[in-house]
Amino acid sequence: MTRPWYETIFDERYPELFGPLERDPEEEVAQIVRLIPIPPGAAVVDLGCGRGRHAIPLSRKGYRVTGVDLSENMLRLARERAEKEGAPVEWVREDMREFVRPGAFDVCLSLFTSYGYFGDEENQKVLGNVGRSLKEGGVFLLDLRNSQKGLSGEEDLEKTLTVPSGLLRLCVHFDRTTGRARAEHELTRPDGIRISSAFDVRIYSREELSGMLAFAGMRVAAVHGSLDGAPFTAGAERMVVIARRV
């Protein structure tokens, strides 16, 4: 039986295929802390933490950080870097559909479109787990693609970028019927070797997420167009949803 994409994509290919699209994590962490002031020493969980790009800088700021990811490959890279930098992060290998720590966290982060991997029922279960794991009044920050652009057809694209390790071809298609986005990345290295991966995620509208979060015991407090707090508009680059547990 073929394994789902989220069990295979996060391997040694990932840094080359997705790294060029990532922004400076130190800057993003600074933006997050300005957007949702986090009390000193707060308990923060980074859900879908990958190789610890955000968890480690958050730990260095004095927060008690837990990084959760399904990929042992990504967690190995995270542990190695954290050890080198002396960042005391708790790394947990677990499926976000199963990870729950009732009332344990002040803040939960889901960054770089790390949400929407599954079908609607399981995606709702993830939000339910977040709601249960937050303390009363705890904050959930959800960083996603702007679904308005995708669902209107404005973000279907095919382009090639020159990156440090070669030429990276990106293809993204948004299916307005299923509400899912499928992306394919193919890297051609200077020696001619090609590596590729594909994934698809469910993209939700602001209204859909508001209802799903309410069902999970959270209330939307704000929606921004980027982590720097820009207004959320139809043409915004991202959809950054901030919700609180009620």
Mean of pLDDT values over 225-241: 92
pLDDT (0 to 100) of residue 164: 87
DSSP collapsed to 3 states, 12-51: CCHHHHHHHHCCCHHHHHHHHHHHCCCCCCCEEEEECCCC
d(CA 240, CA 111): 9
Q: What is the mean pLDDT of residues 40-68?
A: 97
pLDDT on residue 156: 73
Q: How far apart are CA 22 and CA 25, in angstroms?
A: 8
Name 220's bridge partners.
Answer: 243
Across the range 187-209, mean pLDDT stands at 91
How much is the average pLDDT of 137-149?
A: 89
- The confidence band for 158, taking pLDDT boundaries of 50, 70 and 90, is confident
Give 201's strand partners. 181
pTM over 0.85, yes/no = yes
Question: For residues 66 and 44, is the Cβ–Cβ distance under 8 A?
Answer: yes
**Average pLDDT for residues 164-185, to the nearest whole number?**
88
Question: Is the Cβ–Cβ distance between 237 and 226 less than 8 Å?
Answer: yes
Q: What is the mean pLDDT of residues 104-114?
A: 96
| Residue 83: Cβ-neighbour burial (10 angstroms; 0-12, 13-18, 19+) | exposed
Average pLDDT of 101-123? Answer: 97
Do 214 and 202 meet the contact criterion of CB atoms below 8 Å apart?
no
